[in-house]
Amino acid sequence: MQIQQALQWAAGQFTHSDTAALDARVLLCAVLEQTQTYLYTWPDKLLSEAQQQRFNQMVEQRAQGRPVAYITGSRDFWTFTLNVSDATLIPRPDTEILVEEALRRLPDGPSAICDLGTGTGAIALALASERSAAQVTGVDFQPEAVMLATANAAALNLTNVRFIQSSWFDSLAGQQFDLIASNPPYVEQDSEYLQQGDVRFEPDSALTSGADGLDDIRLIISSAPAHLLPGGWLLLEHGYAQDHAIRELLEQRGFSQITTARDLAGQPRVTMGQLDNPS
């Protein structure tokens, strides 16, 4: 089968996907270990028997709904490619909004940064790559996530970041940061969203947080001041309808300069506040 034929056939199998053609290209690039440019340059090139067999297996998994990132074991985020696994959420483009907002509030010089619920390490690694003088700490409750994030840091040759196992702040006693960022679980436990698309295959522990989706965010906001330096920032990714509640929680806890950034679709996505300097 030629490359163009393989792509057409695969896209036709992904009736459930809104990105069928893209899914097919990403999977075939993984099989061929080539870029998408290669697919366009050599559309008539024949796949080997081994390549065809592996591609067929990947297409079958995707046709059953399994996320492309879990099939290939990788996902692009920020300026690099990360290894992913079933133990973590798949990094998404909207989370880059959190990285952008954090960078706007960080100095170019030395700083201390914490990424809560780091998963693949995406946020921590992006910030570490952009702020070489910063010391970045990523924490996750799942040991598999800590191992994965550590491996991603090593693959990217980033030495100013470390990952530790912790349930939120439990292993960070006495430590303070200039900025704390988090993409915590924020989906309502009975949300219909959990039965749709790629989310069906991702770990519930990284998605859901109580009846209104805010249990973990409440804990983080309540505990964060003890771990922020004066003037430090707390940034939280959240669902599109949660910004007002989070702004109120931040205000009640003594944060100021509270604002919300919108995602690529124009929905409220990241809410942040600054811990006031002591008078």
pLDDT in tens, 143-198: 999 999 999 999 999 999 999 999 999 999 999 999 999 999 877 676 675 567 77
Under 8 Å between Cβ of 268 and 240? yes
Q: Three-state DSSP class for 271?
A: strand
Identify the pLDDT of residue 186. Answer: 73
pLDDT tier at 205 (50, 70, 90 boundaries)?
Answer: low
Q: From CA 131, how far away is CA 103, in angstroms rounded?
A: 8
Work out the mean pLDDT of the chain and round it to a whole number.
92
Instruction: Look up the pTM and report it.
Output: 0.90
From 2.40.50.100, 1.10.8.10, 1.10.150.120, 1.10.3860.10, which CATH number describes the 3-65 domain?
Answer: 1.10.8.10
Identify the pLDDT of residue 279. Answer: 36
CATH code 1.10.8.10 region(s) in the chain: 3-65
pLDDT in tens, 48-91: 999 999 999 999 999 999 999 999 999 999 999 999 998 888 99
Distance of CA 198 to the CA centre of its chain: 14
Q: What percentage of the chain's residues is helix, strand, coil (to nearest 5)?
A: 40, 20, 35
**Is 140's pLDDT higher than 70?**
yes
pLDDT tier at 97 (50, 70, 90 boundaries)?
Answer: very high
Q: From CA 187, how far away is CA 196, in angstroms rounded?
A: 13
Higher pLDDT, 152 or 17: 152
Identify the pLDDT of residue 150. Answer: 98
pLDDT tier at 277 (50, 70, 90 boundaries)?
Answer: low
Under 8 Å between Cβ of 236 and 116? no
Calculate ∠ Cα 98-104-110, nearest 5°.
Answer: 105
CATH code 3.40.50.150 region(s) in the chain: 74-275
Q: From CA 116, how far away is CA 172, in angstroms rounded?
A: 11
> What CATH superfamily is the domain 74-275?
Vaccinia Virus protein VP39 (3.40.50.150)
pLDDT in tens, 110-133: 999 999 999 999 999 999 999 999
Identify the pLDDT of residue 163. Answer: 98
C-alpha to C-alpha distances, 82 to 25, 98, 240, nearest whole angstrom: 18, 17, 26
- Tell me the β-bridge partners of 111: 134
Under 8 Å between Cβ of 139 and 216? no
Q: Three-state DSSP class for 99?
A: helix
Residues 6+ apart with CB under 8 A from 243: 260, 268, 271
Q: From CA 139, how far away is CA 30, in angstroms rounded?
A: 30
**Is 278's pLDDT higher than 60?**
no
H helical segments located in 19-117: 20-32, 36-41, 49-63, 68-72, 95-104
Identify the pLDDT of residue 16. Answer: 86
Q: From CA 42, how far away is CA 38, in angstroms rounded?
A: 6
